[in-house]
Amino acid sequence: MSDEVRGTTRAGAGPLLLGVRHHGPGSARAVRAALEAGLPRAVLIEGPPEADALVELAADEAMRPPVALLAHVVDEPGRSAFWPLAEFSPEWVAIRWAADAGVPVRFMDLPAAHSLAQRETEDAAAGEPGEPGAAGDAGAVRIDPLAVLAETAGYDDPERWWEDVVEHRGGGEDVFAPFEALGEAMSALREEYGTGGHDRDLVREAYMRIQVRAAQREFGADDVAVVCGAWHVPALRQKTTVAADRALLKGLPKAKVDMTWVPWTHRRLSRASGYGAGIASPGWYGHLFSAPDRPVERWLTKVARLLRDEDRLVSSAHVIEAVRLADTLAAMRGRPLPGLTETTDAIRAVMCEGSDVPLSLVHDKLVVGDVLGEVPDSAPAVPLQRDLTRLQRKLRLKPEATERELELDLRKETDAGRSRLLHRLRLLGIGWGEPAASRGSTGTFRETWRLRWQPELSVRVAEAGVWGTTVVAAATARAESDAIGAGALADVTALAERCLLAELPDALPVVMRVLADRAALDADVGHLAQALPALVRSLRYGDVRGTDTAALGEVAVGLAERVFVGLPPACAGLDQDAALEMRGHVDSVHQAVGLLGDLGAGSAGSVGSAESAAASSGGETARSGAATAVGAGMRDRWYSVLRVLGQRDSVAGVVRGRCARILLDGGELAEEEAARFMGLALSRGTEPAEAAAWIEGFVGGGSGGGMLLVHDERLLGLVDDWLSGVSDAAFTDVLPLLRRTFSAYEPGVRRTLGELVRRGPAAGGASSAVTGAIPGFGTELDAERADAVLPVLGLLLGVAVGGGAGSGSGAGVSDGRGDGNELVGVG
């Protein structure tokens, strides 16, 4: 190959060393120009040699960067490393140029088999393609070559220096000159700083030199191009012997590894994500690489389009003014062209009216970006990954880098399948989706998920492959293992709930056997109370999904009975922290008992002789009646336990107050009796701290206690009288408790309570309800005014309107189907 063809004098110069900055669009363009000018017969790229068999996939039309090479230890998939490549990465440009030119490509870095064997205790997803210390140098003080060069040039920002000297540099006649200059700069840095804290690079560079020598013997001394991090160029120029290099490699540990291509994202290319070889603005760099001309104008047009999509008033005039301002700023700052700093300042001033709020959106969506790459189906993958890909296509659930909300209706087959898949992946530790609160319906047939595919999830899939070759098989095996190894009873009940949500019937027998054994041996009421809610939720979801939950029903009822028996003695002699925890247990059990009663308890599992009789008769009416009887009986038992707790002096005040409040809300405690309970709790003989704790339990904890005091002046008067009689010394002690209680109220509720206390008792006395103090409240229901709302309610719901509160019949708004889903009237 002649020098005239190469475009420069390189005869006898050895391999063409192209030192680059990883993920630098300027380096990528320079590499492409150098390869087109040099026309090498082989290209060596910094990366693991195990990827040589995968390099041909880069030419596949279905391969769309950003992508990454993923290497993981076969027996321990969690020990892994990534080598990400973007469209603007010099390595990717070199690979594509070689593929188009028919030139062989080989990776020349230390094999992943060695580097992963040395990284047993390091982060599994922090590998960097060719940056110093790709696998990490624990405890080493490492220098940033770009930062040192930028500081030497008088720049305080390495990114801005790189833009000025590389990204904004026009093409010259000698396409190899920039690489020579950068190599000389790195040589000076290495003379000054030695390895710069990258001691493991000595081994990597020894292996690289051996690979370069081998390629030169095969293709010719001057016909090999090497694309590597600029930091390594001085080491590759170093004159060493083969024996010396092999001595550095002797005795390296080795592991069996697999390698494949996986999708990557711009967000994970960002240095802010923890990726050491990352850049601050991958979206901006991608734009610089792909824009054929006028990059600033095109960038600001993108920004305007994004802001308009977010309903901000941005016109073409804004774009024109922003371009002018960016050019002016660049000239004032002595920069060859506007960079990201200038365009950002112009966007803030012109398009965002000085606000950083819309500017943060621009940074997130464009400067960083959410581009997700794609990998062809022919890429190697573990069987579990292939099954997951098949399910994603079947359910039309495409992985995306942007976070999005997914609303599911479990009554639809496709949505139910999506829910099962997401729940099974969560069981496997693959957090593609996270459950979120539904904004629309609270029904159990609705689910809301937040989805975002992160590149490291590919590692989680590889790790989960040890449990099975399909998603359902792997999730089942993982659930069974987790049940056997679970430490607490609540963990097992939560696992049972997750198995039902994921629809894993084969795992349930094992989970239920472990659950029954743990429940029988666990005598801690706190543990039982923690376990019950998840178990009851499992019954609820099992009912919605048509799952047989008979065994769950039996365990839930038995667990509830044990809580009823053990709760009174467990609530005695508690300190403040334990009492607050027990109050939470009481709330959880109350919710669980209510839901268990609504489900009919026995409908999920045979409970008692009444249910057995109903089952044997086969009558749905009898079955429903038996279930209702079981639910009502359970509620009665629970209310009797609460009454015992509420009247027992040895029980902590916060628990007694909560029990009294639950009884009042459930209609089991008359208002007069509730007032008597409060009067006893706030009597002169009660310690002020205990009385304050009772108040916290009765009207605190987000229970709507503020509105209760607003509407019942008797209770408010009792609290006011008690607080007025507390001594100065005791008041200091009870103030934190009272502040915690009343600070949880809405501002309007606090304001109304203050007005009521300032006004004093109403005209009817402290025992009367609020009458004239607050307009709109009366002593009893106004039936005529209540009836007036029914036509509007019927119009909103689109259903027929029945009799109102004044009809005395208890009829209300009906949906016309007569299926028991009627809305009872106000009366």
For 145-196, the pLDDT digits (tens) are 888 888 888 887 777 787 777 776 665 667 888 888 888 888 888 888 877 6
pLDDT of amino acid 196: 63
454, pLDDT greater than 90: no
Most confident range (mean pLDDT) of 38-47, 331-340, 409-418, 725-734 is 38-47
Least confident of 188-197, 210-219, 263-272: 188-197
Residues in the chain: 827
Q: How much is the average pLDDT of 5-25?
A: 71
pLDDT band at 226 (very low <50, low <70, confident <90, very high): very high
Distance CA 319, CA 325 (A): 10
Q: How many CA atoms lie within 13 A of 73 on its CB side?
A: 17
pLDDT band at 444 (very low <50, low <70, confident <90, very high): low
pLDDT of 52-98, one tens digit each? 999 999 999 999 999 999 998 888 877 888 899 999 999 999 999 99
Please report, for residues 23, 68, 179, 385, 460, the alpha-carbon distance to residue 275 in angstroms, rounded to integers and kept in the order given: 12, 13, 25, 24, 18
pLDDT of amino acid 808: 42
Instruction: Count the neighbouring beta carbons within 10 Å of the beta carbon of residue 580.
Output: 17
- Three-class SS state of 404: strand
Q: In this structure, what are the phi and psi dihedrals at residue 745, rounded to the nearest 5 degrees?
A: -75, 155
Distance CA 399, CA 379 (A): 17
Q: Which residues pair with 260 in a beta bridge?
A: 70
Most confident range (mean pLDDT) of 384-398, 719-733, 769-783 is 384-398
| 277 or 453, which is more confident | 453
pLDDT of amino acid 671: 76
Angle at 716 between CA 712 and CA 719, to 5 degrees: 150
Is residue 67 a contact partner of residue 263, using CB atoms and an 8 Å limit?
A: yes
Least confident of 386-400, 409-423, 463-477, 729-743: 729-743
Which single residue is written with the structure tokens 């062209």? 337
In this structure, the strands spanning 446-451 and 433-436 are: antiparallel
pLDDT band at 575 (very low <50, low <70, confident <90, very high): confident
Is residue 646 a contact partner of residue 659, using CB atoms and an 8 Å limit?
A: yes
pLDDT of 537-549, one tens digit each? 767 655 455 555 6
Distance CA 498, CA 545 (A): 13
pLDDT band at 747 (very low <50, low <70, confident <90, very high): confident
Q: How much is the average pLDDT of 215-232?
A: 91
Instruction: Count the neighbouring beta carbons within 10 Å of the beta carbon of residue 393.
Output: 10
Is residue 804 a contact partner of residue 827, using CB atoms and an 8 Å limit?
A: yes
pLDDT of amino acid 817: 38
| 131 or 798, which is more confident | 798
Distance CA 112, CA 110 (A): 6
Instruction: Count the neighbouring beta carbons within 10 Å of the beta carbon of residue 735.
Output: 12
E-only strand ranges, 401-518 = 404-409, 433-436, 446-451
| 3-state per-residue secondary structure call for 692-756 | HHHHHHHHCCCCCHHHHHHHCHHHHHHHHHHHHHCCHHHHHHHHHHHHHHHCCCCHHHHHHHHHH
pLDDT of amino acid 135: 36
pLDDT of amino acid 126: 38
Q: How much is the average pLDDT of 637-644?
A: 87
pLDDT of amino acid 550: 66
Angle at 434 between CA 433 and CA 435, to 5 degrees: 125
Is residue 433 a contact partner of residue 406, using CB atoms and an 8 Å limit?
A: yes
Most confident range (mean pLDDT) of 209-223, 451-465, 691-705 is 209-223
Of 710, 718, 724, 695, nearest to 753 by C-alpha is 710
Side chain identity at residue 470, one-letter code: T
Distance CA 394, CA 314 (A): 41
Which single residue is written with the structure tokens 């090498």? 40
Dihedral sign (CA 306, 311, 314, 315): positive
pLDDT band at 698 (very low <50, low <70, confident <90, very high): confident
H or E stretch at 639 = helix 620-647
Please report, for residues 322, 690, 726, the alpha-carbon distance to residue 729 in angstroms, rounded to integers and kept in the order given: 65, 15, 8
Distance CA 19, CA 234 (A): 9
139, pLDDT greater than 60: no
Side chain identity at residue 492, one-letter code: V
pLDDT of 725-743, one tens digit each? 777 777 777 777 777 777 7
498, pLDDT greater than 90: no
pLDDT of amino acid 779: 57
| 3-state per-residue secondary structure call for 157-226 | CHHHHHHHHHHCCCCCCCCCHHHHHHHHHHHHHHHHHCCCCCCCHHHHHHHHHHHHHHHHHHHCCCCEEE
pLDDT of amino acid 48: 94
pLDDT of amino acid 84: 92
Q: How much is the average pLDDT of 596-624?
A: 42
Radius of gyration for the alpha carbons in the chain, expressed in angstroms and rounded: 36
CB neighbour burial string for 611-629, b if at least 16 within 10 angstroms, e if fewer: beebeeeeeeebbeebbbb
Instruction: Count the neighbouring beta carbons within 10 Å of the beta carbon of residue 655.
Output: 28
Distance CA 245, CA 645 (A): 79
Distance CA 575, CA 91 (A): 64
Q: How much is the average pLDDT of 643-670?
A: 84
pLDDT of 298-354, one tens digit each? 999 999 999 999 999 999 999 999 999 999 999 998 888 898 999 999 999 999 999
pLDDT band at 819 (very low <50, low <70, confident <90, very high): very low
In the chain, % of residues over pLDDT 70? 79
pTM of the model: 0.66
Most confident range (mean pLDDT) of 255-259, 299-303, 436-440, 799-803 is 299-303
pLDDT of amino acid 519: 73
Assigned token pair, 205? 């560079």
pLDDT of 340-392, one tens digit each? 999 999 999 999 999 999 999 999 999 998 888 999 988 888 889 999 999 99
H or E stretch at 181 = helix 177-193
724, pLDDT greater than 90: no
pLDDT of amino acid 97: 95
- Three-class SS state of 447: strand
Q: How much is the average pLDDT of 604-633?
A: 42
Instruction: Count the neighbouring beta carbons within 10 Å of the beta carbon of residue 408.
Output: 19
pLDDT of amino acid 12: 58
H or E stretch at 550 = helix 550-570
| 200 or 603, which is more confident | 200
Task: Quote the DSSP letter at residue 612.
Answer: H
Of 637, 682, 644, nearest to 660 by C-alpha is 644
Distance CA 665, CA 668 (A): 8
pLDDT of amino acid 170: 60
Q: Which residues pair with 225 in a beta bridge?
A: 16, 43
pLDDT of amino acid 546: 54
Is residue 450 a contact partner of residue 436, using CB atoms and an 8 Å limit?
A: yes
pLDDT of amino acid 243: 93
777, pLDDT greater than 80: no
Q: In this structure, what are the phi and psi dihedrals at residue 467, rounded to the nearest 5 degrees?
A: -90, -20
Distance CA 480, CA 495 (A): 9
pLDDT of amino acid 134: 38
Exposed, middle or buried by CB within 10 Å (0-12, 13-18, 19+), for 24? buried
pLDDT of amino acid 702: 60
2, pLDDT greater than 60: no
Most confident range (mean pLDDT) of 125-139, 233-247, 506-520, 708-722 is 233-247
Distance CA 437, CA 443 (A): 11
Angle at 346 between CA 342 and CA 349, to 5 degrees: 140
pLDDT averaged over every residue in the chain: 79
Ordered alpha helix ranges (H), 7-57: 25-38
Q: In this structure, what are the phi and psi dihedrals at residue 736, rounded to the nearest 5 degrees?
A: -60, -40
pLDDT of amino acid 547: 55
Q: Which residues pair with 18 in a beta bridge?
A: 227
Instruction: Count the neighbouring beta carbons within 10 Å of the beta carbon of residue 255.
Output: 21
Q: How much is the average pLDDT of 420-447?
A: 83
Distance CA 195, CA 439 (A): 56
pLDDT of amino acid 224: 94
Of 397, 49, 15, 69, nearest to 236 by C-alpha is 15
pLDDT of amino acid 727: 77
Task: Quote the DSSP letter at residue 363.
Answer: I
